Amino acid sequence: MTRSVWDSLQAVRVAVLIVFLPVVLYRIWRLVRYPTSIPAIAATVFGVWVWFWMLIFTEPVWTAMPASVHAVSMGGWAPVWMAGCLQIFVIGINGDVSQVWIRRGLRTTFIVTGLVLIVVAVAVSQSRVLASSADMFALTNALLDGGDRGAAVAQVVSSGFLAVVLVQLAWVGFRHADRTPVGVGLGLLAMAAVLQLTAIALTGVWRPLTGGGMGIGGRYVPSLQILPGCAGAALMVVGFAWPPVMLRVQARRELRRLRLLHDALVGMFPGLSPPAESQIRLSDLVFEWVAHVQDGLTILSQRREVPVETGWAPPADQIGRALEVANWISGQSVSGFSCQWLRPPMGMSDQAWVLAIADAYRNCAEISRVRDAGRERLPVRG
């Protein structure tokens, strides 16, 4: 590796550290402020470890670190720690397994990660290259040239452990990928895992085993090592960030859809909405507002003495049915209306049905507002 390429990589590393520091701090803040899940904790810890290890590999911090930290950092502790966090994430997103299996998997992950760290540390202690130089540029080139058995063993063990975890991440990600925010994020993580596997197979396994030689691929090997790894890292960042960002955007959109109907029912029945908690996620707030609307519709039907059933079947059209419910909420008379109309249609969830009613109620309110404004502008004739 030439000095110019090395300096460019250092500049990129510093830029990435600056850009992603607010993201890391935000994830830590959310972890402390809100109740969270095992995958969210593992993803946050993974991001913190990546940022921490990138900080260590910057020139000013590297020169301040002791020789033992230099050796284990270049020897493979960084990918081992990252692999452990990713393994916990993979275990946590397996929603189709029991809690006993998850606890057993977590214990196994901690034990295996500890053993791999010990093996890497022993291999590093047998390396002459890792203990001989404090210059990160010279040390990197010495490792790329190969020839040191201890360093090669440490790289192969750490990279092999990370590769096994990436295979699991790719499998689980592709299996759970769909069009939901979480599914899209898992699909991106699966693609990132495949790209990272390509880079690790060449850089962390093939190159140490061949003594630093180019082997298959010839002069294209450096590109095959760098490009998949960079693309995979970018996709992994997007994959981890996509679900929380999109879920927050979706929750804000649904709260806007619910607000008018929710406020109207709370105005009729103030006891529906207790004081809001300060530490509540927007997605949980959407769930609470949906429950408030359902309770409000039930109380309103009781107050107006709406029959449970009548001889009139609810409209088959979901949009038309939601419009009739919205008209009833506004106080209009709806022929044959019963409590059966308030229940969600077949194949529709409670939340989707409440959102449909809220959309219809908002549309009715807007039409009524426009109609009233038009009447006010009509000229008065004598």
How far apart, in Å, are the Cα atoms of 218 and each of 205, 213, 214, 248, 349? 16, 9, 6, 47, 57
Q: What is the identity of the amino acid at 320? A: G
Instruction: State pLDDT tens for residues 192-250.
Output: 999 999 888 887 777 777 765 555 444 555 566 677 877 888 888 888 888 888 988 99
Strand extents, DSSP E, the chain: none
Name 169's Cβ contacts closer than 8 Å, sequence gap at least 6: 86, 89, 90, 189, 190, 193
Name 356's Cβ contacts closer than 8 Å, sequence gap at least 6: 318, 319, 322, 348
164 touches 190 (CB < 8 A): no
Which comes out higher in pLDDT, residue 380 or 182? 182
How far apart, in Å, are the Cα atoms of 275 and each of 117, 144, 271, 295? 49, 61, 10, 16
Count, residues in the chain: 382
Q: What is the identity of the amino acid at 183? A: G
The CA dihedral of 348, 353, 355, 360, to the nearest 10 degrees, is 120
Helix (H) or strand (E) holding 274: none
Q: What is the identity of the amino acid at 32? A: V
Q: What pLDDT score does 145 carry?
A: 66
CB burial class (10 A; 0-12, 13-18, 19+) of residue 282?
middle
CA dist., res. 4 & res. 62, Å (int)? 19
Quick one: tokens of 309? 């059933």
CA dist., res. 132 & res. 111, Å (int)? 31
Quick one: tokens of 343? 């229940």
Instruction: State pLDDT tens for residues 270-326.
Output: 888 776 666 678 888 899 999 999 999 999 999 988 888 877 778 888 888 999 999
Q: 235 φ, ψ to 5°? A: -65, -35
Q: What pLDDT score does 217 carry?
A: 47
What percentage of the chain reaches a pLDDT higher than 70?
A: 86
Residue tagged 């050796």 (tokens): 71
Q: What pLDDT score does 286 carry?
A: 92
309 touches 339 (CB < 8 A): yes
Instruction: State pLDDT tens for residues 13-50.
Output: 888 888 888 888 888 887 887 777 777 888 888 888 88
Q: What SS3 state is found at 378?
A: coil
pLDDT at 374 over 50: yes
Q: What is the identity of the amino acid at 43? A: A
Residue tagged 């994830």 (tokens): 27
The count of other CB atoms within 10 Å of the CB of residue 336 is 15
CA dist., res. 157 & res. 204, Å (int)? 9
CA dist., res. 248 & res. 262, Å (int)? 19
Q: What pLDDT score does 211 carry?
A: 65
Q: What pLDDT score does 39 carry?
A: 79
Instruction: State the DSSP string of 74-100.
Output: IIIIHHHHHHHHHHHHHHHT-TTS-HH
